[in-house]
Structure 1
């Protein structure tokens, strides 16, 4: 299948053309083969474009635009000043992507280290990490409604921590379960999270 035909299929698809029309006009045997061509074209466009590469390219574009506008801003052009401020804000957001080094995310990671986490908890742990990072990012760079919306994520983070047994109420419940489990197992040591799972899920 030629790359040019794949690209034409992608162009038509991006233009909201139905797959049946793409199949008929470009001579694909089936809708499935048209879909495959679109996926190939998308994959070709993504070659060499990982996150870090894309981020650096965007920074270079922003810097290039800033160099054009900054001399005008220094001369008192109010529109150029506004553009420079906007470009600077975008640049800082790209430079300071969500991470694990501070704020709620750092506290979340510290909490995880104190828990008896297993591979079965991986999806839950990753969900909590994503929420914590987004909250931190919005608090550092957001304004007004952006910050307010980010704070709406806090209950979701609390739900993750509760499921992991990392809130005061959850820890109290885990200790109660552990005590009951130890009694039922003739004093055999049972960690709190395992005891909780045995009582709640029978595992």
Structure 2
């Protein structure tokens, strides 16, 4: 009888862990990414297709307000937008977290944070978490560099922004910059996927 209850408990824990994970494995380099229509902090809906600066592609960053890793990368995300938006690869930030689990990631707090930091890019809310699950985002921050090919958006890079979250001055590999520079030069992305480092996304609990 004890063995039965032990097995039942293990199965229940496994189910709960599984039910809080995103569906599917998400996108890999070379996949065609889904466009989206999400609410920006200005209250307007935004999609990649209607984003005028995204003439060649986009740097999609799943991020949030509360995560220490996201905070450490905010200035670098702003710098990415400043460098690559004029070249056709603007940043699009998406907050996928469930605000009922983390109140600091509420839409109102997103507006406050964007104003405080002077975000130069859209900061969208993924209220249903459908886009984060579709893309396969697991952490904040988690980056997907997309190349625009006609009406399609092709994933060219997935992973971390660079190799040193804690100290920008000690960065040796700038993964996102290298990827976008490769694309702008008409080259194949030399390192198309690296592990995303950051806080786990706070999924809605069943």
* TM-score of the superposed pair, with normalisation by structure 2: 0.24
Higher relative contact order (CA 8 A, sep 6+): 2
* TM-score of the superposed pair, with normalisation by structure 1: 0.24
Q: If each structure's strand is expressed as a fraction of its own residues, which one has the higher value?
A: 2
Q: Which has the larger radius of gyration?
A: 1
Q: If each structure's helix is expressed as a fraction of its own residues, which one has the higher value?
A: 1
